[in-house]
Structure 1
């Protein structure tokens, strides 16, 4: 219920800001949203070059559009739990580098971010296999103690066991927190470099 309340509070705060916002602020918000939409289209493969998209926008509107693009791209750099998410992070980093003029420090931060995302995926898979193996051994030992089932060729799937699900949830949360902090620090560096102080 607290989540619903906080979301409602956010909606009300935004409505109040919009009600008291000047026309310039409203236009900047619309331009920022346009930038977010263009970045999403880029990540979906509908646009090839965000830099060209930005260059096609009126120069006075470019800062707000660029901000929206950068915000959307940064949101798509996340710890990959599925195969396609790592590709999106790579695409987002490539576009951020392009929007930053290809500066060396941006590429360096991007490489570190990709390293974090890659290490997370490897570490996650390794821990999952280890947990599966450990639960499977426990299941086999329990079956071996059961009369008549010890030599059985049952196909055991440890991922269906409640103990596996409970342990995996705990491990995944801890791992996500650990890698997530490092990821956010690097994203903050990118954000500061591309947008200045927040």
Structure 2
């Protein structure tokens, strides 16, 4: 009977420890969510200075808050489809610089990250233009054939051709894969620098 009791005591002790760990895990999770809300607020211009926000919190909560802010802001650094979408990524980078308190290493990573985003946009535009030029020649021949057959001049848009769309999606997938991997590596570096 004593053996059973000691086993039961061990189970109860373990359950109590797990309950205590679960409480602190829940608390840390809540602080991460609060950090994510602050990061989102920064992007909406509701929180002006993330460094002040973090420093105004309890010392024990800061690492969880920084983790949440970092997660929220890194999610908003993505490969842009248009040049105007890049401003969201730049705002997110500025917020992360605030959290990192202007760290030189962080600034260097963001400089490289900005180059990747710029190169992506430029490369994307070049590929699209080359593809359109290639299809324009084919479409010109098709327009001539249609004009001869029907006697009507029609303007055909190369980007509307199904083969164009198929090829553009393939090229875009390759481009997104290549630049996405580079961007993900820089995001991991930022997470490592801010988790110190």
TM range (shorter): 0.7 to 0.9
With the length of structure 2 as denominator, give the TM-score of the two structures. Answer: 0.83
CA contact (8 A) 1:36 1:69 kept: yes
More displaced 10-residue stretch of structure 1: 23-32 or 154-163:
154-163
- Give the corresponding residue for 1:98: 98
| Larger fraction in helix | 2
Higher Rg of the two aligned structures: 2
Q: Is the 8 A contact 1:35 1:68 kept in 2?
A: yes
Residue 34 of structure 1 corresponds to 34
DSSP 3-state at the match of 1:148: helix
Pair 1:125–1:150, CA change in 2 (3 A): farther
Q: How many residues align?
A: 178
What does residue range 166-185 of structure 1 map to in structure 2 within 5 Å?
A: 166-185=166-185
1:11 aligned residue: none
Distance change (3 Å), C-alpha of 1:111 and 1:174: same
Report the RMSD for the aligned CA atoms in angstroms: 2.1
Q: Which aligned pairs between 1:40-55 and structure 2 lie closer than 5 A?
A: 40-55=40-55
| 1:21/1:133 CA distance change after superposition, 3 Å | farther
Q: Aligned equivalents of 1:34 and 1:117: distance in 2?
A: 29
Runs (4 or more) in structure 1 with deviation over 3 Å come to 149-153
**TM-score normalized by the length of structure 1:** 0.82
Gaps of at least 5 residues in structure 2 are 1-18
Cα distance in 2, alignment partners of residues 140 and 54 from structure 1: 61
- The equivalent residue for 1:10 is none
